[in-house]
Amino acid sequence: MITKLDEIVEKVKSLPNKRLIGAYTVDSHSIEAISEAIDFGLIDATLVGDSQKIAKSCEELKIDVAKFEIVHEANDAVATAKAVEMINAGKGDILMKGLISTETYMRAILNKENGLLPPKAVLTHVSVIENKNYHKLLIVGDVAIIPLPDINQKVAITNALIKTAKSLGIEKPKVALIAAAEQVSMGITSSVEAALISKMADRGQIKGAFVEGPLSIDLAIDRESAEIKGMKNDVVGDADCLVFPNIEAGNVFYKTNTKLAGAELAAMVFGAKVPCILSSRGDSAKTKLYSIALTALIS
């Protein structure tokens, strides 16, 4: 079982290279991460974007620009659409967001005629977080795409987290459906939906995982809190996966981990034709490298 992000990189080194298509990856953090991933033998890469800006970033980083295939397109939105077109043409296995807004990136992925969304699929954001204060990796969602998921979308999020956990070698992931409290409250929709999803898992409608909810965040990840509150099951205090009730809860958790707890992470969009890297434009090169490794493993 993989318990550190560096172990994902090591695992992918032993796999055949995937081809990454960079959507306007002209910034230094993206190029540094892609370059390092190439050096590790994880991927080959095509960068779609302004060739002059790519060359300038490479010069500043002292990176040989010749290690990339470059498709010139100065307009960021057009470059993103062209990157998606290349994926659809079978020229790449992974899509990566560069120096563009999430809105522009997602618009290209979701385009009904030329995008990457299979029929009836649900796109969701999956993050794998390494926090030194927790004893293993945490796989969480959704923190960036679905503002207020309904119960069907929460089931899709749950399944995406389970599949990601299994790719990390977790045989039967422990999934916590997060709410404000562990007691079911009929007046709180997320609490009721968590209970329903938990029961669905009990009856085999969600397979391959222990699923419990509603659970407060302390019960999900802290054994002492579970002991104090007298709650015992397969998930409490030892969750692998956290399903958040809404984007605010997930996004605050994500950014609190990185900005106040010094956590590292990998992030991707799950549910498209290929794994799509969706990290913040301000994320570090290391975060982007881990995200590349995660998508290469998933693909």
pLDDT-based confidence at residue 284 (cuts at 50, 70, 90)? confident
pLDDT-based confidence at residue 283 (cuts at 50, 70, 90)? confident
pLDDT-based confidence at residue 282 (cuts at 50, 70, 90)? low
What is the arithmetic mean of pLDDT over 11-33?
A: 95
CATH fold of 124-259: Isopropylmalate Dehydrogenase (3.40.718)
Tell me the CATH number for domain 5-120+272-298: 3.40.50.10950
Residues of the chain with CATH 3.40.718.10: 124-259
Rg (CA), the chain: 19
What is the arithmetic mean of pLDDT over 195-218?
A: 97
Q: Above 90 in pLDDT, residue 47? A: yes
pLDDT-based confidence at residue 281 (cuts at 50, 70, 90)? low
Of residues 154, 146, 105, 130, the one with CA closest to residue 248: 146
pTM: 0.94
Mean pLDDT of the chain: 95
Of residues 258, 279, 257, 259, the one with CA closest to residue 268: 279
* Alpha-carbon distances of 285 from 36, 144, 279, 297, rounded to whole Å: 9, 19, 10, 18
Could you give the percent of the chain with pLDDT greater than 90? Answer: 92
Residues of the chain with CATH 3.40.50.10950: 5-120+272-298
Q: Above 90 in pLDDT, residue 279? A: no
Cα 82 to the center of its chain, rounded Å: 23
Q: Above 90 in pLDDT, residue 48? A: yes
Q: List pLDDT tens digits, range 54-95.
A: 999 999 999 999 999 999 999 999 999 999 999 999 999 999
Question: Which range among 11-20, 124-133, 249-258, 274-283 shows the weakest confidence by mean pLDDT?
Answer: 274-283
Q: List pLDDT tens digits, range 156-182.
A: 999 999 999 999 999 999 999 999 999
Q: Above 80 in pLDDT, residue 238? A: yes
Q: Answer whether 288's CB lies under 8 Å from 295's CB.
A: no
